[in-house]
Structure 1
Amino acid sequence: MTDTGFTVVAQGLRKVFVAPDGKPFDAIDDLSFRIRAGTLTALTGPDGAGKTTLMRMMAGLLRPDAGTLQVLGEDVSLRPQAVQNRISYMPQRFGLYEDLSVQENLDLYADLHGVPMEQRRERFSRMLEMTDMARFTARPAGKLSGGMKQKLGLACTLVRSPDLLLLDEPSVGVDPLSRRDLWTILEQLIEGENLSVIVSTAYMDEAARCTDVFVVNRGRLLAEGSPEDLSHRAKGLTYEAAPPPGMPARVLQARLIDAPDRIVDAVPRGGRVWFIRQPDCDEAALRELLPDTPFEPRTEELEDAFMALLREHDGDSGKTAEHAPAATVPQSKGDGHPVIVVRDLVRRFGDFTAVASTSFSVAQGEIFGLLGPNGAGKTTTFRMLCGLLPATSGHLEVAGLNLRKARAEARGRIGYVSQKFALYGNLTVRENLEFFAGAYGLPRKRAHARIEAVLKQFDLEPGAVSGILPVGYKQRLAMAAGLLHEPDILFLDEPTSGIDPMARRAFWRTITALAQDGVTIIVTTHFMEEAEYCDRIAIQDDGRMLALGTPQQVREQAGGDRAMDMNTAFIANVEQSRAALARKGEAA
């Protein structure tokens, strides 16, 4: 018997996996829910919550170990092919064949789905127009930017018109412009084709655009409802505070999250700090915690309820960076001279200019954000700063060393954490750290001392096999490896990509502590709210510098005030620059 009006019905659903150490664990643990037809539904939760496992079961790619799962009225365990004939599924990495062109990828997916030839021309034309990819049909998928790959992945998924679309974290690793384009396309599809869509996401602003939201953690359902209904769970608990003069917002935020008995969560926003108090913490206790800081109530949002739910479910295990030092106003540890100097930096690849005459400097202990759309040139700039790629021309100085003359010596003064973390999955945590200590050339005695120090600092289990760790845990291990040799400068290349809000809070608490100790941080990120943690940010597009300054200065350049969120400021700066270039081109 099927439930009419629902695309997915789960009852007592369970999925058990066996870890490499032989121990079973419940990825999905007695999960029951119903998802309404014709709606845009969000699955959200922290890393390891079971979102991808659930998506794969709904797609008929994994069989439940217990319980029942109906998709589009079919028992997916008994008739997986019947379900797959009516759905489209886009996995996290878009499922593209990178050596094939855009058109060849579309043709391949049409062949796999058995799309009749007479339907292909109209469907391809619609998808290429909707994704603005018609100009790139001959380009290999591997040479597309992250945002273009995202849109091609969606177009391939939709070469046929499904009854249900499953999207597993489609926004991972793409910039705000590409995220906006994706959601515009989804809204057009839902309205034009009455499509049911289920999307898993770590972005709470994306979940807030959905009709229904399901919050899961460790395989269990914590809450479900509309974004408005869920947001009300934090009603009366949310506040904003203005830091005292001279104190960065991230330092006040660190002070707040270091008091988990009174504070559920805190995050910098618009030069202020938004926070959630514990239900049993009254305003008198808040004034005791913030004697020099005025605060006032604010309207609750979905992310407030999300963080409160996770903290309640995880208890104290979710609190952030308890090893970090107490939050204080940072003291300058340098002599006023910049530790990074970039003047007229240019990098060309043949006829293509990836970076065009870029100039900026970074002071010791500063957190400097390098932002831009996919394909903007920020990764090329980043690689040149790290000494991984030579500049075509210009001056580049890191830690007082000219990278043209002393690249190897400069590398010894920097730490680097890549987007993919560069860990060895078959090695334990300790074995990874021992490998990196050797790569940095640390003497045995110092290596042993530093490994023990970072194991404690980042709360790492030495014997855990790194390949099976949750993404947030791998991030902490990669950070520990990058800091083994106590570098002066730490480069972080999209370190929070694909990581949930709770893990991002812990990450930035650690970064705040490192900056207070005088470590200079250079970070690239697609989470624009993370720009609020930076002392200054630079926005690049098409190899050019569009904006450089404090987050507030960048908001002002975009024509906004303190209340403007950084996503809006980022998009406004990029679009204003592109419009100005277009006008200039027309005039010429």
Structure 2
Amino acid sequence: MTAPSVEAVGLRKVFPEPDRGAVTAIDNLSLTVRPGELTALVGPDGAGKTTLMRMFAGLLRPDQGRLQVLGIDVARAPQQVQDRISYMPQRFGLYEDLSVQENLDLYADLHGVPQDRRKERFARMLAMTDLAQFTERPAGKLSGGMKQKLGLACTLVRSPDLLLLDEPSVGVDPLSRRDLWKIVQALVEDEGLSVIVSTSYMDEAERCARVHVMQEGRILAEGTPATLLERARGLTFVATPPAGRPARELQARLIDAPDAIIDAVPQGGNVRFIRKPDADPSRLAELLENGPSAARPEELEDSFMILLREQDHEITPVTAEAGPDHPSTNGKPVILVRDLVRKFGDFTAVASTSFEVGRGEIFGLLGPNGAGKTTTFRMLCGLLPATSGQLEVAGRNLRVARAQARARIGYVSQKFALYGNLSVRQNLEFFGGAYGLGGRLLRERISDALEQFDLDPAAQSGLLPAGYKQRLAMATGLLHRPEILFLDEPTSGIDPLARRAFWRRITALARGGTTIIITTHFMEEAEYCDRIAIQDAGEMLAIGTPQQVREMAGKAGATDMNSAFIAIVEDARARRERQVA
């Protein structure tokens, strides 16, 4: 029999923290990874997935236990392990001033790839990643999805015996995510490569041969996706919301009822939910307002949510949110965009975009990496001037009153933009002061934020798990109760449980009158929006309710938002190619 790729027995890893004492990241963990398979690590933020991956890579030494990778004792010979594996961390270190080819050459040098093997290996990696035509382009000029693919190509410039991928599709659009997984699956099938991947996407974990569910440094469950699915058998349903009401309202009603409901999420204009095994039928009928529901096939995410709920992970019900301190008046749009254009030299990033957003509306701005949505977003926030066009935010013309408009908005950036060396409380105090709050009012707002977002005021911000960093960023952006909240991919890299809690709060904010503008690569999140817009290459491809957008893509056979997004973007790209030809 072939030896396991990884064999871990009784692993333990503890990190000392001055303010909080010792933090146990890995706690008596044991697992076996079979060779030639695609294996997934999933779990909520802070579960220990990245720590475990770094231990597999020989970058961290276990405090206790035994760990063998490719038959090598990692604690005794970490360099021998590193000579035979390839590891792609969440933030892969591309050199942005170097071209695609120069990055490949550099990593080949670092890994000691012989010159006579480079040509064939480079050609294969460039073909698989579809980067062959971009070899002279600086890495810094690539889109997010292309950077991830280049990172994977650099990781694979040598032929490893084991590939470790830590959240490889974080911040990547559905098209690029699909391409990344085609590459990974081809490596497993064609080369028999052993791959371990940590992921926040349950549909990605469902493609793997085995899945290990982690929580607080331990393994909660493991097995094939089909085996894990059995936990949800007979508990999964789909419900239709009352006529004229958005699905997110029914979803909020269900998810706030932990006595009967394990999980609920909008999908395709309906709400898919998991009921508790002992749920009272009359209670379910009350929650569904006697509306129709039907059984649906269970998914891996259903089993994942059941496992977490068994660990007493609950989403705190949100009954009300304070309204904005600067409410809109006269029923006018909160955001008005007409013929918006932004150019960088000869390059047009946004081309003649127009739309309106009303008070209390959740408006989603979607598009592939490099589509122009972040540029549009930065113009709406007053962070980037428009080349031409009309742009009004909170009743202010951004051409002449940018500072006044910014005082009425909150902003949560794609990357953690707070001060990592400050505590949670210190960040809230600093940014609260920057928003003009002080004295008793600031203390009250900070106290409310700490309670609402379940934050430890003494924790060092930079050491928080991704989900808690997102909570802190949200709390900071809402301290001054803005009229408009801009969220740039706020759920990138956080687990499904944290995404549910995030959207529960967003729904409550919108009900209180706050206008939400959000960009996201999770297509399921588009279902929470009142309307969405899809951009690509600076062009507005579609705008409307989620149902209207799905109908636009229906001719291509798209039934869910993910396939609708891909169909709309690919159709537009094919049209542009025909025009060029």
TM-score by length of 1: 0.95
Q: 2:542–2:549: 8 Å Cα contact kept in structure 1?
A: yes
Deviation per residue, 1:526-578 (Å, 9 max, x gap)? 11110000000000000000010011111111126998221111110000011
**In 1, distance between residues paired with 2:112 and 2:438?**
61
Paired amino acid for 1:352? F
Is the Cα–Cα contact under 8 Å of residues 552 and 562 in structure 1 kept in the other structure? no
State percent identity of aligned pairs: 73
1:169-568 pair list within 5 angstroms: 169-313=167-311, 315=312, 318-325=313-320, 335-559=330-554, 564-568=559-563
Name which of 39, 46, 49 aligns with 2:37.
39
Deviation at 1:451, TM superposition (A): 2.1
Q: Is the 8 A contact 1:19 1:468 kept in 2?
A: no
Q: Which stretch shows the higher mean deviation, 200-209 or 75-84?
A: 75-84
- Using the TM superposition, give the Cα deviation of residue 48 of structure 1 relative to its aligned residue in structure 2, in angstroms: 0.6
Shift in CA distance, 270/560, structure 1 to aligned 2, threshold 3 Å: farther
Deviation at 1:160, TM superposition (A): 0.9
- Deviation string, structure 1 residues 289-343 (Cα, Å, up to 9, x no partner): 3233222211111000001101112x1xx211334439xxxxx986432110100
Residue by residue, what CA displacement relative to the aligned partner does 1:21-52 show, whole Å, maximum 9, x if unpaired?
25112111111111111111111111111111
Aligned residues: 576
Report the CA distance shift for 1:485/1:22 in structure 2 as closer, same or farther (over 3 A).
Answer: closer
1:338–1:201 CA distance, 2 compared to 1 (3 A): same
The unaligned stretches of length 5 or more in structure 1 are 327-331
Q: Tell me how far apart the structure 1 counterparts of residues 482 and 12 of structure 2 sit (CA, whole Å).
A: 46
Please, which moves more after superposition, 284-293 or 80-89?
Answer: 284-293
Show CA shifts across 1:103-145 (max 9, x none): 1111111111111100001111111111111122222222211
Query: Are 1:576 and 2:575 an aligned pair?
Result: no
Instruction: Quote the Cα distance in structure 1 between the aligned partners of 2:140 and 2:401.
Output: 33
Question: Following TM superposition, by how much is the alpha carbon of 1:191 offset from its aligned partner in structure 2, in angstroms?
Answer: 1.8
**Can you give the 5+ residue segments of structure 2 that lack an aligned partner in the other structure?**
322-326
Q: Could you tell me how far apart the structure 2 residues matched to 1:224 and 1:391 are?
A: 51
Contact map agreement 2:556 2:567 (CA 8 A) in 1: no
Amino acid in structure 1 at the alignment position of 2:421? N
How has the CA–CA distance of structure 1 residues 49 and 443 changed in structure 2, closer, same or farther, with 3 Å as cutoff?
closer
Q: CA deviation at 1:476?
A: 1.4
Asked if residue 166 in structure 1 is aligned to residue 161 in structure 2, the reply is no
In 1, the alpha carbon distance for the partners of 2:159 and 2:356 equals: 51
- Looking at structure 2, the residues matched to 412 and 333 of structure 1 have their Cα atoms a distance apart, in angstroms, of 14
CA deviation string 1:204-234 (max 9, x = no partner): 0100111111111110101111111111111
Q: CA RMSD for the aligned pairs?
A: 1.7
- 1:4-19 alignment runs, 5 A limit: 4-19=2-17
Q: 1:374 is aligned with what amino acid?
A: N
Alignment-derived partner of residue 324 in structure 2: none
Instruction: Supply the distance in 2 between the matched residues of 1:522 and 1:304 (Cα, whole angstroms).
Output: 28
SS at match of 1:192: helix
SS of the aligned residue for 2:105 comes to helix
C-alpha separation between the residues in 2 aligned to 1:334 and 1:502?
A: 36
Q: In 2, are the aligned partners of 1:555 and 1:561 still within 8 Å (CA)?
A: no
Q: Which moved more, 1:479-488 or 1:361-370?
A: 479-488
> Structure 1 residues 520 and 211, CA, compared in 2 at 3 Å: closer, same or farther?
same
Q: What's the secondary structure of 2:5's corresponding residue?
A: strand
CA contact (8 A) 2:250 2:288 kept: no
Q: Which amino acid aligns with 1:514?
A: L
Q: What SS is found at the alignment partner of 1:287?
A: helix
Counterpart of 1:14 in 2: which secondary structure? strand
Matches within 5 A, 1:61-140: 61-140=59-138
Aligned with 2:189: secondary structure? Answer: helix
Which amino acid counterpart does residue 532 of structure 1 have in structure 2?
A: E
Contact 1:417 / 1:491 at 8 angstroms: preserved in 2? yes
Aligned residue type for 1:298 = R
How far has the Cα of 1:443 moved from its partner? 4.2
Asked whether the equivalents of residues 366 and 534 of structure 2 are also in contact (C-alpha less than 8 Å), the reply is yes
1:447 and 1:325 map into 2 onto residues whose CA distance is: 20
AA aligned to 2:504 is R
Distance 2:444 2:488 in 1: 27
Aligned partners of 2:101, 2:319: CA distance in 1, in Å?
Answer: 51
Question: Which residue identity does 2:475 align to in structure 1?
Answer: A
Q: Name the CA shift for 1:561/1:285 in 2 (closer, same or farther; >3 Å).
A: farther
Matched letter for residue 433 of structure 2: G
For the residues of structure 1 that align with 2:9 and 2:424, how far apart are their CA atoms?
A: 38
State how far apart, in whole Å, the 2-side matches of 1:355 and 1:220 are. Answer: 47
Shift of 1:87: 0.8
CA distance in 1: counterparts of 2:17 and 2:244, whole angstroms: 49
Return the alpha-carbon distance in structure 1 between the equivalents of residues 354 and 170 of structure 2: 29
**Most deviating of 504-513 and 560-569:** 560-569
Partner of 1:558: helix, strand, or coil?
A: helix
Aligned-partner residue type, residue 546 of structure 1: L
Shift of 1:467: 2.0
Instruction: Check the 8 A contact 2:260/2:284 in 1, yes or no.
Output: yes
Once residues 468 and 293 of structure 1 are traced to their aligned partners in structure 2, the CA distance between those partners, rounded to angstroms, is 45
- Paired with 2:18 and 2:395, the residues of 1 have a C-alpha distance of 46
CA separation of 1:148/1:20 partners in 2, compared to 1, >3 Å: closer, same or farther?
farther
Q: Is the 8 A contact 2:164 2:197 kept in 1?
A: yes
Task: State whether residues 94 and 149 of structure 1, in contact with CA within 8 Å, keep that contact through their aligned partners in structure 2.
Answer: no
Paired with 2:282 and 2:558, the residues of 1 have a C-alpha distance of: 27
In the alignment, the residues of structure 2 paired with residue 522 and residue 561 of structure 1 have an alpha-carbon distance, to the nearest angstrom, of 28
For the Cα contact (< 8 Å) 1:339–1:363, is it kept in 2? yes
- Is the 8 Å Cα contact of residues 271 and 562 (structure 1) preserved in structure 2? no
User: Which amino acid is 1:97 matched to?
Assistant: Y
SS in 2 for 1:423: coil
Distance 2:122 2:58 in 1: 26
